Amino acid sequence: MAVYTHLGAEELAELIAHYPVGPLVSAKGIAEGVSNSNWLIETAGEDSQGARFILTMYERRIELEDLPYFLGLLDHLSARNCPVPRTIHDRQGAAFRMLDGKAVALIEFLPGVSPSQPEAGQAYAVGETLAKVHAASQDFGLSRENTMGFGQNLACLEGCGSNALASIDPDLPQILAPARAAAELDLSALPQAQIHADLFPDNVLMLGDKVTGLIDFYFACSGPMALDLAVTHAAWCFDQDGAYLHGLGEALLAGYQSVRQLDRQEKNALPQIAKGATIRFIASRAEDWLDTPDDALVTRKDPMQFVSRWHFYNEHGADIFA
């Protein structure tokens, strides 16, 4: 959520005037993230009560034709009492507007902070909330293909090339064989829903053990619910050194199944799905690593962190998801 495009005070005020939120009071650029420009917007509110929103300008990795799905899914889930920010539609009812050739959307601001060191109670709440989102999305009228599926992950790694992968870490090219195996998995028979597909702790807002917001749905797609659970498990249940946190893993799975029980087919498939989920992040991190100039003021994310998680699931996945 870096700011790539500068918008002056006059441009921002003119843009916000198209929305029924009251006049602009302040706007502050948000520095985190890598894909879009974001601002924290404060307005006087239509009823003179101050209100806050997130303004997003879509810069990269998001296709314009996908925005009705992304923004519509937010509205659908919010209307079903999921802790998801709703889209603020403009005075003509549009969910997004075009500004200088780029799409912009105004999103509800939700309170909370992202946990940097999650605890078991928080993991349980996230699992519970994820299952509720899956249930609430069942009747959403749109669908979207997973553009970060296991086949695409393999293509990404092969596109990087063995030599380039080895320049990151000599052991990294060894993940190509598991990536080919993951690409052969057929998950079409598993129970499906609309899935977040990127539910890292920094995409969850919490107050204590209460989930106040799931955000950043820009990898959301139609797919197997077990894949979403596996991605979340890989993202939440390991410490910075790569050690598996049993308490968090058990709590996440228990929270999920307090709302929706996994069927036997899903449980049998989860060890392989979890390995494939780690490869998704190995591939994206490797590609970003290679595309980032050495002098860029960006901290690269190490793909080997997820290689170690692949090895964990390969050795212990059957026990973890039994």
Q: Give the separation between CA 301 and CA 10, rounded to whole angstroms.
A: 37
Q: What CATH number should be reported for the domain whose range is 120-320?
A: 3.90.1200.10
Whether 197 contacts 146, CB under 8 Å: yes
Q: Thinking of the domain 9-108, which architecture would CATH place it in?
A: 2-Layer Sandwich (3.30)
* Confidence class for position 49, pLDDT limits 50, 70, 90: low
pTM check: above 0.85? yes
Q: Would you list the domain boundaries of the chain?
A: 9-108, 120-320
Strand pairing class (204-207; 210-214): antiparallel
Q: Give Cα 192 to chain centroid, integer Å.
A: 18
The string of pLDDT tens digits covering residues 65-94 is 999 999 999 999 999 999 999 999 999 999
Nearest one of 322, 309, 223 to 269, comparing CA atoms = 322
Q: 22: left (phi > 0), else alpha (psi -120 to 50), else beta?
A: left
* Integer Cα distance of 38 and 164 in angstroms: 32
pLDDT of residue 96: 97
Q: How many CA atoms lie within 13 A of 241 on its CB side?
A: 2
**Tens digit of pLDDT for each residue in 239-291?**
988 999 999 999 999 999 999 999 999 999 999 999 999 999 999 999 989 98
**For 121-134, how does the pLDDT look when each residue is reduced to its tens digit (9 = 90+)?**
999 999 999 999 99
Q: Which residue has the higher pLDDT, 303 or 240?
A: 303
Predicted confidence (pLDDT) per residue in 135-177, tens digit = 999 999 999 999 999 999 999 999 999 999 999 999 999 999 9
